[in-house]
Amino acid sequence: MSYCSMDTDAFSSDPYLGTTQNVVVKLPNTLAGKGTTEVNSQKCQRFICLITRQGDYAIFILSSLRTPCLHSDDLSIETVLPVDENLKTKLEPATKDKPDSEKRFVLAISNDNQGYKFELSEGETIQQFFIELKQARDLLSQNACFGLPSTFMWLEKYKKKKTHESENIFEKDTFDPFAHMGINMSQSKVTSDKPASFIDEMSYASDDLPTMRKRSSSKDSLDALDSSDFTQSMETQHRSQRLFGITSAILLDGEERSTLGYREKLLKYYLDKRETEFTRATAFRVFCGTWNVNGQSPPLAVESLRKWLAADKDPPDIYAIGFQELDLSSQALIFTESVKEEEWQRAVQPCLHPKARYRKVKSIRLVGVLLIVFIKTEHVDDVSLIDTDSVPTGILGLMGNKGGVGIRFTLQNTSLCFINSHLAAHQEEIERRNQDYKDIESKMRFKQFYPPLTIADHDVIFWIGDLNYRVDMDINAVHTFIKEEQYKPLLNKDQLLKQLGKEHKDVFRGFKEGPVTFPPTYKFDPNTDMYDTR
């Protein structure tokens, strides 16, 4: 922030201010950052100036054509507010999402017609601004007492000089991104000699990811693609994004990653506002199922699996099926191949809903934790950018007897992430379960992107598995409530719901669980429908 006075050429070669109009205090970098204004939760840089002319005062709010503002020619007047009896100002501490050493304030300025909020850093300029503003108001009162109220007619020419009549600077644009680029989109299509395979421009085996080689191969997944096809498709995608002026999330060798500038942020803001003009929303049904199989093989009667996987009348568009304790043998901790995995993979697919056909998107296994994702064949062409990762949280935080696996992909223009986890056991290990969740959430990285994507980077996240949270109640009382189908008392003692209900919870933040209208499904004596009697 700085103090200055400006002459006739203060803002432009076409004079904005006359010789009798001076800047008393200028507040640069205001609102949400070093100086920005918040519009529909979008933060944009603005400058505030307190202008005086022959005893009258007005607040000018200016915007810059580029960030940082390098010259006065970059500035344009956005709003002019006279300092009159209708002007209201309020200064209060800013709400902090993250702790930092810099003290910040929110300045609210409004009159009968419009209002703005600005986020400011603590400094002498804020104090000076309010001192000058108070003097301006005192002078206004004095002039009114002497019968000399201002009409502020001198502000009319500045209101006419506002850069845009509408806040939407793209209002008259027609959405035709290829009209002036000379791009032949047919050249960007990647083909394959394998008619039955699906081409995924992002899924590939990276040499610097040794952990991937320890997972199940998932050979019949949608992302079967040889390295030459991947290289060509990635370069084509990257080149097209540069023509659009968009920084690609994937960088080729020798290129540096840059952040979005003011122009790109502004463009994204207005594109988001017009999203409904050039997009369509599609509803998808997702089936999420989880089963701790206790090392057992699939049931010989496939009908029992079908009752689980095809319980609804209408088929789902996506299946996310998670298993835990798939293989309890000691060999499962060492070898990547598992007979039990092959058994369950073969058993599941024939039992999917009979009214639809499905393709496997991907599967991933970490010792006994297996996740399989299927999608309707009619949606296969809308799937892209498939990736997987796993995080062990078992013995010493390294072994895979506990942990989580994840599969992510993009469906049309929405990114989906599915997590299957097996957290720490035992009634008293609540904090250990919480820590397992935190480890999976913080350590899982989909490394085929640069920078790697986290779980939180996705539009929709589904988290399933054997979370192992228990009911804090005597076992006999639990059995009584189950027999009477009174689930509310059980839910009131549910450890997971207690975590979700905490005001400052740090586990499963933002997740929502559907209503529980069925009895507990764990655990039963093997091959019976009787709850564990041990």
Domain boundaries, the chain: 21-160, 472-534
More confident residue, 229 or 528: 528
pLDDT digits (tens, 9 = 90+) for 475-517: 999 999 999 999 999 999 999 988 887 765 789 988 988 888 8
Which amino acid belongs to residue 307? Answer: K
Round to whole Å and give the CA distance between 275 and 141.
48
> Maximum CA pair distance of the chain?
99
Find out whether 134 and 91 touch, Cβ atoms under 8 Å.
Answer: no
More confident residue, 101 or 359: 359
Average pLDDT score over residue span 170-197: 49
User: What are the helix (H) ranges across 107-211?
Assistant: 124-145, 156-160
For the ranges 99-103, 195-199, 347-351, the maximum mean pLDDT occurs at 347-351
Which residue, among 120, 111, 179, has the nearest Cα to 1 in the 3D structure? 120
Round to whole Å and give the CA distance between 123 and 478.
61
Tell me the pLDDT band of 170, cut-offs 50, 70 and 90: low
Average pLDDT score over residue span 412-439: 95
Round to whole Å and give the CA distance between 404 and 437.
9
Share of the chain above pLDDT 70, in %: 67
Q: Which has the minimum average pLDDT: 167-176, 205-214, 393-402?
A: 205-214
R_g of the chain, CA atoms, integer Å = 31
Tell me the pLDDT band of 84, cut-offs 50, 70 and 90: confident
Q: What is the pLDDT of residue 89?
A: 85
Round to whole Å and give the CA distance between 103 and 219.
55
Which residue, among 61, 32, 289, 18, has the nearest Cα to 167 in the 3D structure? 61
- Quickly name the fold that domain 21-160 has: PH-domain like (2.30.29)
pLDDT digits (tens, 9 = 90+) for 215-253: 455 667 887 543 334 333 444 444 444 444 444 344 444
Q: Which has the minimum average pLDDT: 54-58, 111-115, 253-257, 417-421?
A: 253-257
The sign one gets for the Cα dihedral 139, 140, 143, 145 is: negative
Tell me the pLDDT band of 534, cut-offs 50, 70 and 90: low
More confident residue, 176 or 416: 416
pTM: 0.58
Average pLDDT score over residue span 355-379: 97
Average pLDDT score over residue span 173-193: 49
pLDDT digits (tens, 9 = 90+) for 10-53: 343 333 444 444 554 445 433 322 345 554 445 677 888 888 88
Average pLDDT score over the chain:
75
- Quick check: 127 pLDDT over 60? yes
Tell me the pLDDT band of 309, cut-offs 50, 70 and 90: very high
Strand order in the sheet with 318-324: 286-292, 318-324, 369-376, 358-366
More confident residue, 387 or 134: 387
DSSP state of 186: G
pLDDT digits (tens, 9 = 90+) for 439-480: 999 999 999 888 899 999 999 999 999 999 999 999 999 999
